Amino acid sequence: MSRSATVLAKNGKLLWPHLCVCCGTSHDLLDSGEPLTRTTAMGNKLTWHVPYCLSCKAHRHAARRGIVLVGGFVVPAFLFLTIVYAIQWQSWPTFFAGVSACIGGTWLLTKLNKIKANALMHSTCSHPFAPIRYLSSSGGKHTFEFVNETYGAAFEAMNKDS
């Protein structure tokens, strides 16, 4: 479940409840939060500093590191080697075995990474790495989606036009 909130930035600023956006704790919050960026249709880059606690920062980075490592390095490198080898030796079995190993390996690494990130998460955590998503912005209005619904409601209330 998640909750979206559309709020108006006053003078380009948004208020963030002083709670971790993932688990909702008010303890051990990072001093300047974690940056959440989005490039608008006009090409402007917007950055918000979202509050996270230390332990949520840790599981978030562990989860993202795994995704970057598997998706950006291990799989492409292995596929490349498989293709080069198969062309070199004109071997289709090698190619298919390589591709299968790649799919299996990706599955395994993703699973292990998930276990590792999950081990760092608390029961109150809302997402391994993306408890908040920046959906859209138009004019001075910004729409976010929160997995932690309580946080989303507090955020919306805090930024209500009054």
Q: Which residues bind Zn ion (CB under 5 A)?
A: 20, 22-23, 53, 56, 125
Nearer to Zn ion, 86 or 132 (CB): 132
Residue 56: count of CB within 10 angstroms of its CB:
30
Residue 10 contacts residue 158 (beta carbons within 8 Å): no
Nearest-approach distance from CB 51 to Zn ion, in angstroms: 9
Q: How far apart are the first and last CA of the chain?
A: 29
Nearest-approach distance from CB 80 to Zn ion, in angstroms: 35
φ, ψ (nearest 5 deg) of residue 105: -65, -40
Give the C-alpha separation, 51 to 22, whole Å.
9
Nearer to Zn ion, 53 or 154 (CB): 53
Number of H helices and number of E strands within the chain? 4, 5
Nearest-approach distance from CB 73 to Zn ion, in angstroms: 25
Nearer to Zn ion, 5 or 19 (CB): 19
Nearest-approach distance from CB 76 to Zn ion, in angstroms: 29
The three-state DSSP-derived secondary structure of 74-129 is HHHHHHHHHHHHHHHHCCHHHHHHHHHHHHHHHHHHHHHHHHHHHHHCCCCCCCCC
Nearest-approach distance from CB 107 to Zn ion, in angstroms: 24
Nearer to Zn ion, 95 or 122 (CB): 122
Nearer to Zn ion, 20 or 154 (CB): 20
